[in-house]
Structures are given as structure tokens and as C-alpha cells.
Structure 1
Amino acid sequence: MKYHYALLDVFTETPFAGNPLAVFSDAGELDGAVMQRIANELNLSETVFITGAPEPGVFSIRIFTPRSEIPFAGHPTIGTAHWLRASERLGAGHRLVLREGIGDVVIGFEAQSTWLTTAQPLRIDPASFDAVTAAALLGLAEVEVIAAPVVASCGLDYWLIELGASEALARARLDVAAHDRLFEPWLEGALYLFCRQQGGARARMFAPRAGIPEDPATGSAAAPLAGWLAHREAAPGAYRYRIEQGVEMGRPSLIEARVERGTEGIERIEVGGRAVIVGGGWLAL
């Protein structure tokens, strides 16, 4: 039987930039083991399988990296929503909810951009290692890591490491052996390096244990980063950030984030961006 998929570039409107994504549109008959083998075969950061539509405007999806299933991810969510809209699968009103492992992710459309609202609130915890260890892990001087790392999450944990300049960000090289020694075997230890710039940040993401040596655009990391940035602002309010990623890989990406910070903390985080359908294909199983 043939299973068809669409190929998209996400967090860009330019083909061959952004983060590639495969979306299998009718995958309800596939089991998880087969989905995992397909994701490993395509070897993209993530592959999405639409497994059903339990009610109008609601689609159940599963997301796989080359090595494991994950409950939530940003560029698969944005890309799948873009494909559903472009394929006229939404019906009247363009209501869309993607039912993921993390829960229901509400989608909104504004002109050519697609926005998701995180299904889980921001969580921030201290990291188990300091800036000195982070610098050694990345082949950088100690002074180039300018703050203690933190673990931040809106459903997936990322170790946020702030660098002082884009030059340091470009020079960072992950020591994979040291990474494996630092993190427990059950931890993926996904690192999100960033440096602040006007209007937001520039970032890189490394997750070797997930089969992702480097990721061109990571919406599930941009969400807690935006929350962390808003948390550090001087006063409650509505904040908007632009996060550039993928520059060092030759796949420039732009992730937008909106954060509502109330007097009691972060109340809402949205991540948005554009996508483009660049092709498709099928697998015979």
C-alpha cells in the first residue's frame, strides 16, 4: 500500500530554507513501530503522521524524530496546520486543533502566518551544570557564556544557554562525548544556545540523542525562550520576539513569539511563522 506525504519547509517562506518536515496525511492504519522506521528512513528532524479527525476541525497527530516519538514540537505543528489549511481540510470557519501527545494545541491563522498556543505553561528550573561547564561543552571561553544555564519547558525540556555575542554562537561546537557524560541516559539534553539581539534573539539547537545534530528551527524551544525573556522584562505586559535560527546551517529560519506576562507570571505563549510546501512523495509499505 502507498502512503503519501507532503514535504514542507517551516518557519520560512523560501524553499530550501527553514526546517524540513514530512507530513503523512492518512496514517491511521500505521502503528508506532512503523512510524518510527519511516521517520528514521526520511531522517528529518521530525516527521508527522495524521492518524485521524475525531471531530470537525480536530486532527490527531503523532510526531517522531529519527530516534523517538515526542509529545509536542513547534515546526511539525506549524507545518501540519499550514498543510491542512492549504489542502482545504479544515472546513468552514478554519477552526483547528491538533491533538498531540501533550494535549490539544490550538491553532490560529493570521494572513500567511500560522500560530500555535502552547498547551502547557512555562516551567523554568535551574540547570544541573554551570556556565563554566557549558562553555567547555561548546568549545567556548568561559566569559562567552554570560548567565547560568536554566532548564525551560512548555512541554519539552530545553537547556537554555545564553551567549554574549553572535560570533560566539557561530563558533560553538558541541562536544558530543562530553554531552553524553553530562546527561543521564534517559535525558535527551537538548541544548538551545542563544544571544540577544534587537527585537529578540538568534539561536542554535543541538539534540544529538534525538538524532538531531543541529536543528534549523525549533518552535518548542523558542516558546520557553520567549517566556524566559518576558520573565526577565521589567514589568508585566504583552511582549513580542523574533528568533532567528538555522543561519549557521545555511537554512535561515524566523520564529515569532508572543508572550502575555501578568502580575503573577507568564499567562500565555504563542509561537508563529510561515511555511511553504515544496514537494511530496509516497512510501510503499
Structure 2
Amino acid sequence: MTPDPGTQVLRYTAFSADPAGGNPAGVVLDASGLDEAGMLAVAAELGYSESAFLTGRTDEGAYTIRYFSPKAEVPFCGHATVATALALAERDGPGDLEFATLAGRVPVTVSREGGELRATLTSVAPHVEQVAASDLAEALAALDWPAADLDPALPPRTAYAGARHLVLAAASRARLADLDYDFARLEALMHRLRLTTLQLVWREGPEVFHVRDPFPVGGVVEDPATGAAAAAFGAYARELGLVPETAVLTLHQGADMGRPGTLTVELRAGDARIRVSGTGARIG
């Protein structure tokens, strides 16, 4: 289906105040006239890793939102949620929002800090799972990563905070920087394991990490800044005791793609949900 030429598509980047950084997303604030095929057509035409579509409001006032990559719908997308929240805040002013996603309700608070708007989303309840040895071996083969290049202090796990991500930790920054994988092979594994991205990570310091996210199931080689994976990684870090129960983690992503961005991940003792925040900017 060809999208209605009257559909207003906004373009925002998330997790960077520079339009040339972070992760770009399409945002349609009124997608009530689009069906699934129409939303997919908009996302495919834009070519961003995801685009967000507001399809209405619930009885409680939450925005119903759907997310599409150029190839398929995804249950939750962090950077497109941030982009949408910033677009609403520019239109209506900062404040509290709630989005009804396929993964569950996601509250977002937008505040103004200095001259910038900053959005903080709160994830759905997360969980962390073991990874089968055969699945890990297949992922490493698709990446062309020797097992010896993994960081033994950060063991592989599958983490969920609205979408599923396989977390693999590189032992060096050079290993993380060298990403040249078998697209079709990794895509097939990810479909079988119902993964949205791989969260490839290198630990720079106690609470500072560098990450990259291959996204072949979405039709793109790599996602520049991945809010859903950041939330999942926060759950992973807490589950494995890598950080204190109350902590603020800084994730740097996109530098290897020429689109640097920063994601802030907050963990709170006694609250299982993960908070992910960042700035953003309108493109064009």
C-alpha cells in the first residue's frame, strides 16, 4: 500500500541533541488513517531502523503506539518512543505521557534541561534468560567472533525489557569496533530466537559501556542507538550483579557508524523496571 501523501511524517533523532547523531526515527502523530500496510510503507520509505505511529488514545488517555522497521512490526522501540515523546512535548509542552505498546504500558516523562528537552521512559517488567550453548556458538559464527574474544566477566544472556536482545560482551574495544557479520545467517538465528537486536557491549569502566546493535531482522545492518536494548542491558547488569542495585549507567553507541549518541540507564533498588533517558532533535 502506498502511504497517503497527506500523512505528516516527522523526523527526529533520539539520544543526541545533534541531528547528525543518535538514532533517527520517523514519527507520525496521527496515524489513525493508516492500516498496517500503510505504516509499513512509511517505515520502508524512510529507511530508518524504526518509525513510530500514534493510532489513537485509550480510555485512560494513553497514546496507542505501533513501531515498524522497514521490514516488519516490532513490539517496542525505545528510540522511537523517545522521538515521539519529544515531538509531543514540542507540540504540547513537557510533562508526563503514557504509551500503550504491544509489550505493555510505557510511561515517559519529558523535562526541559537548559535549552534541551530530555525524555525518560520506564520499561515494562524485564527478565533475563540463559543462552543455549548451540545458539551462542551460532551467534558467534555469524559474527565471526572467536569465543576467546568474549569478556568472561560479562557472560552471554538473553535480556528482555519490551523486546528480546542477546547480550554478548567483547573483551576489547577493538573487537567491538570490528563488526562485519553474515547478515542472512544472523537474521535466521534471530528469527528463530525471536530476537530484536544483538546487544554487543564493551565495558570501559564500572558504569560506562560502549554498545553496538546488529539489526538484520529489521532490514538494517546496525541500529545507531537502541533504547529497548539499553533497558534490557540494565536488567542484565543488575541480574548478574555487575552494578549496584541503585546505579546510573552510561551507554555510548553509534560512534562506529558516525552517529554518536548517549543513553542513560537508571536502576532503582526495589523497582524492577528500568529507566532510559536521552535528548533528541528534530531533523530537517
| TM-score, L = length of structure 2 | 0.88
CA 1:82–1:56: 2 relative to 1, 3 Å: farther
Higher mean alpha-carbon deviation, 108-117 vs 125-134, is at: 125-134
Match in the other structure for 1:224: 232
Match in the other structure for 2:96: 95
Q: Does 1:273 align with 2:274?
A: no
1:166 counterpart (173, 185, 198): 173
Higher mean alpha-carbon deviation, 235-244 vs 51-60, is at: 51-60
Match in the other structure for 2:157: 150
Contact 2:163 2:196 in 1 (8 A): no
Please state whether the residue corresponding to 2:171 is helix, strand or coil.
coil
Displacement of 1:41 after TM fit?
A: 1.4
Between the aligned partners of 1:234 and 1:219, the Cα distance in structure 2 is 20
1:204 counterpart (212, 216, 231): 212
Cα deviations across residues 260-280 of structure 1 (Å, max 9, x unaligned)?
A: 244xxx62310000000123x
Cα deviations across residues 76-102 of structure 1 (Å, max 9, x unaligned)?
A: 111100110011167xxx231112212
The share of aligned pairs that are identical, in percent, is 29
Contact 2:156 2:167 in 1 (8 A): yes
Q: Does 1:259 align with 2:259?
A: no
CA 1:38–1:183: 2 relative to 1, 3 Å: closer
Q: Does 1:13 align with 2:8?
A: no
2:46 counterpart (26, 42, 45): 42
Displacement of 1:42 after TM fit?
A: 1.2
Between the aligned partners of 1:162 and 1:213, the Cα distance in structure 2 is 19
Letter of the 2:28 counterpart: F
Higher mean alpha-carbon deviation, 38-47 vs 177-186, is at: 177-186
1:113 counterpart (115, 118, 124): 118
CA 1:107–1:137: 2 relative to 1, 3 Å: same
Between the aligned partners of 1:56 and 1:196, the Cα distance in structure 2 is 41
Contact 1:129 1:149 in 2 (8 A): no
Between the aligned partners of 1:257 and 1:180, the Cα distance in structure 2 is 27
Contact 2:123 2:273 in 1 (8 A): yes
1:237-256 to 2 correspondences below 5 Å? 237-256=245-264
Where does the alignment leave 5 or more consecutive residues of structure 2 unmatched? none
Match in the other structure for 1:187: 194
Between the aligned partners of 1:233 and 1:185, the Cα distance in structure 2 is 29
Displacement of 1:29 after TM fit?
A: 1.3
Between the aligned partners of 1:9 and 1:203, the Cα distance in structure 2 is 18
Match in the other structure for 1:141: 146
Higher mean alpha-carbon deviation, 16-25 vs 45-54, is at: 45-54
Match in the other structure for 1:282: none
Aligned residue pair count = 272
Between the aligned partners of 2:55 and 2:213, the Cα distance in structure 1 is 28
Cα deviations across residues 156-199 of structure 1 (Å, max 9, x unaligned)?
A: 11010011111110013222243245455573462110011123
Contact 1:230 1:261 in 2 (8 A): no
Please state whether the residue corresponding to 2:71 is helix, strand or coil.
coil
CA 1:56–1:14: 2 relative to 1, 3 Å: farther
Letter of the 2:149 counterpart: E
Displacement of 1:134 after TM fit?
A: 4.1
Contact 1:47 1:65 in 2 (8 A): yes
Contact 2:197 2:213 in 1 (8 A): yes
Where does the alignment leave 5 or more consecutive residues of structure 1 unmatched? 280-285
Contact 1:140 1:172 in 2 (8 A): no
- The CA RMSD over aligned residues, in Å, is 2.2
